Amino acid sequence: MSIQVQSERLNPLTPEQIRCYREDGYLVIKKGCSDDLIDAFNSHIHSIRSSDSMPDWAKPRKGGSAVDDKDRYSVRLFNPHLHDGFSLQMMKLPVVRGALAQLLGDEAAGVQSMYFYKEPGSPGQAAHQDYYYIKNDPNTLTAAWVAMEYTNEDNGCLYVIPGTHKLGVLPHGAVKNLQEHEAWTHEVEDIDLSMEIPVVMEKGDILFFDSNLIHSSTRNRSERWRRSYVCHYIRHDSTIERDDLKKKISLI
């Protein structure tokens, strides 16, 4: 019995999608992941965090410090791809590899992964640019945000300001609305946030966006969760400044 191996790189994006990405700074691939794959990954992550013998790397932490057991399903799982095979394969999805190569002009490498829970009532993150947190040279940083369930304005979807990736890196300061957003982050300054628009996503949709695109999320006002798996990538010839993100994961 022979095993077929994916040898050719996918080219999932049309020229029009690439043009729109260049103009707007983001695009959504509808149903980039099947429901079965999403359900299996959600169950896998839940089994890790619910285990009585949870591995040390998976224990919930804030600011590097361990937190209470009640936070098993609220504090994000940071860089699971470095320890867990399923998380690694989700980072290396063929559709993601292909789309990134089309957008960046060459093969990409993974540098960061985060599994977000965002339980009912939890705050969002104030408007920011990813490059502010993850500086790289040349700047090719791109996010792939996979919706682990239906995401809309009620349960705290992402908001973006189309075209702001063309503005370069803007100053960031203290978060202004602590009722809506987490306090530990920073917020972009000198921008009209009334221009933000929601990105409503079905389970399995994949949102790609530029590192300089201004984006945010709001408080989860629903009784539903808003789980997501977010990975950051750079072109293979870019370098990261942060010591904790220097390891590049080949997508091939």
Burial of 78 (0-12, 13-18, 19+ CB in 10 A): middle
**Cβ(103)–Cβ(95) below 8 Å:** no
Task: Evaluate whether residue 177 is within a structural domain.
Answer: yes
Q: Is residue 64 part of a domain?
A: no
Would you say residue 60 lies in a domain?
A: no
Neighbour count for residue 73 (Cβ, 10 Å): 14
Structure tokens at 164: 């702001």
Owning domain of residue 167: 20-51+70-250
Please say if the pLDDT value at position 40 is more than 60: yes
* 7 within some domain: no
The CATH number covering residue 212 comes to 2.60.120.620
pLDDT at 5: 52
- Cα distance between residue 67 and residue 159, in whole Å: 29
The answer as to whether 5 is a domain residue is no
Residue 127 has φ and ψ, to the nearest 5°, of -55, 130
Q: What is the pLDDT of residues 20-31, one digit of tens each?
A: 999 999 999 999
C-beta separation of 66 from 55 below 8 A: no
- The confidence band for 2, taking pLDDT boundaries of 50, 70 and 90, is very low
Beta carbons within 8 Å of 142's beta carbon, 6+ residues apart: 100, 103, 104, 108, 208, 209, 210, 211, 232, 233, 234
Residue 45 falls inside a structural domain: yes
